[in-house]
Chain A
């Protein structure tokens, strides 16, 4: 018996020895500073870090790049599994979510002591999306909103010399484009919630009610937005497709298959890179039309956050501080087309000269935040699912809104219970 046990023990010991060495590496403070970036920003960060590494040779930054489609999942899994990184890029709607879970470290003290970060230099609306329960939990990294990318030349051929200024005019322009042969001029991917959300935020009524414990999607405002959205699809202005089916959006835009696309600032860079050369000046950007004039849009963007369980908070803050420098933000804009959240950074020459970015500056004056609840990601996905189904199968706006509210109320059930006990 003894020898058999001994052999087994030795075998298991040998098997796990290299593993425990790795374990120590993964969990110890001697390890690198872990940074999670998402999408294109995650790819570009590596380039920006050269300057940081030169200034702080002792800090080894390890960049992990996550695709947006899996980022939310990965963040929550990491939180549940106690495996969060030190610093991460977070979509600012997620800041509230992770804040509610107590996952983020407050930055007030460090920001106040920092010579680089000046609060009044930031767009105040964006700064405030990072304040939860009076504490600053994220530093804005870039701002984002959704507006209209359009083919100027196709619109001109259809008889218009300016982009639409309200919903009515937008529909008129779409119909005119159809008449000159662009069968379905608008890209409205049925798996993206941002367009419908932007339309919804243009209304006066909030999306949740009763201290954010119940859905308010049956309000007149949302139903109006939903009806307009469904109308665009039902009247044939937009194909019923997901972005995967459209696959190469820029190619299709360049081929003249589409004339309107609701997208974000990163597309300025992508369009420049991927559109065929002859269309260089054929496209432009414009603020979103609203029901009665130019409308609001989503207050998006990403912030940089430090996780509460990080054991290297001082170094983590140095990294965040580095990205907050106006010249680094300028270079970031060069690499991604992402717009800086600091007003002084907008003086960066390339940005100041960019006419297309100006539309964004204008839209940023009219952005509205979404409700800061942890369930928001689920709620907005649920909203889009119902809308996409109604678009494909033909449901009325009223019925769809009611279905959304029913789903949302179920999702928020736990929050209601916690709120009754004063814990939410």
Chain B
């Protein structure tokens, strides 16, 4: 009896897992096909003779090599700066008293409900005034700090032992020194989580770079892929190669660091 139940449970999970990653497997398979192979009836599952032609084409004339570097650069920059700023603010809200601190934090949390797109158009006009439209700085600036990130750090920092910090203060250490020497090491787990979340968010960001960047040679990967998909509707194989280049790095990053990523989700989700 138990044997059949085990078969059922495992079987259903394997089916679900297969359905979950099947599109991704198909993506890789088609990306290795020759041009026109996939638009046949019946549609093929595996390439007849796998080739890297589509990848070569994308890197040579599709500008994907450049878009990859742009995405990498922007995501790295965004992650470094936002992790720092969010860590500072999160610690400040958790452990440093100042007037109106808790009310301000509650206000910030409330602002989480506001959909980001509400401010996109005015932000675009603002950036136009200072000449940052169609620049990487324009893409980067709004992502340099985030309410959710501050929240994560604050929740974690609130749980840090206060005695260590107090003792250091009594010894005469400055706040910045305390943060750098004592708090940062203790915050490392949540910071790694924050960094992973931040990197993924920046890499996958689509709408804002789409709006801000008009020059093709400044595109990030998602925007380049979207542009490609509008123009080359017929070339499935090329699209899939582009999709692989866009998806694979973050998938690998996730698999390597999934412990931290999932931790972040849990902290944000369960501990309300």
Contacts and interface: CB of A to CB of B under 8 A. Distances in A.
A and B touching (Cβ–Cβ under 8 A): yes
Interface of A: 1, 3-4, 8, 11-12, 15-16, 19-20, 22-23, 26-27, 34, 62, 64-67, 69-70, 74, 77-78, 80-83, 244, 247-248
Contacts of B77: 15
Chain A binding surface SS class: helix
A81 B134 contact: yes
Nearest to B85: A8
Contacts of A248: 39, 234
Contacts of B133: 81-83
B136 to A, nearest CB: 6
Nearest to A78: B214
A67 B84 contact: no
26 contacts: A11-B81, A11-B84, A12-B81, A23-B132, A23-B135, A26-B135, A26-B215, A27-B131, A34-B215, A62-B217, A64-B216, A65-B216, A65-B231, A67-B227, A67-B230, A67-B231, A69-B231, A70-B227, A77-B211, A80-B125, A81-B133, A81-B214, A82-B128, A83-B215, A244-B233, A248-B234
Interface string B73-93: 000010011001000000000
Name the interface size band of chain B: 20 to 34
B124 interface: yes
Contacts of A8: 84
Contact of B131 (A3, A65, A82): A82
Given A3-B176, A23-B137, A247-B234, A77 B80 contact: no
Interface string B95-137: 0000000000000000000000000000011011001111111
Q: Which 6 residue pairs spanning A and B have beta carbons closest together? A: A81-B133, A67-B231, A83-B134, A4-B176, A67-B230, A19-B137
B140 interface: yes
Given A70-B227, A78-B134, A80-B128, A15 B214 contact: no
A12 B144 CA distance: 10
Interface string B11-49: 000000000000000000000000000010000000000
A19 B125 CA distance: 20
A344 to B, nearest CB: 33
Contacts of A11: 81, 84
Given A15-B77, A15-B80, A80-B124, 4 more contacts: A19-B140, A69-B231, A77-B214, A83-B133
A65 to B, nearest CB: 7
A19 B128 contact: no
Interface string B48-67: 00000000000000000000
Interface string B221-259: 000000100110110000000000000000000000000
Contacts of B128: 80-82
B200 to A, nearest CB: 20
A11 B82 CA distance: 12
B129 to A, nearest CB: 9
B216 A26 contact: no
Of B125, B133, B211, the most chain A CB neighbours within 10 A belong to B133
Interface string B134-172: 111100100000000000000000000000000000000
A247 B233 contact: yes
B134 A26 contact: yes
A65 B134 CA distance: 16
A248 B39 CA distance: 10
Contacts of B135: 19, 22-23, 26
Interface in B164-216: 176, 211-212, 214-216
A15 B230 contact: no
Of B80, B211, B215, B234, the most chain A CB neighbours within 10 A belong to B215
Contacts of B140: 19
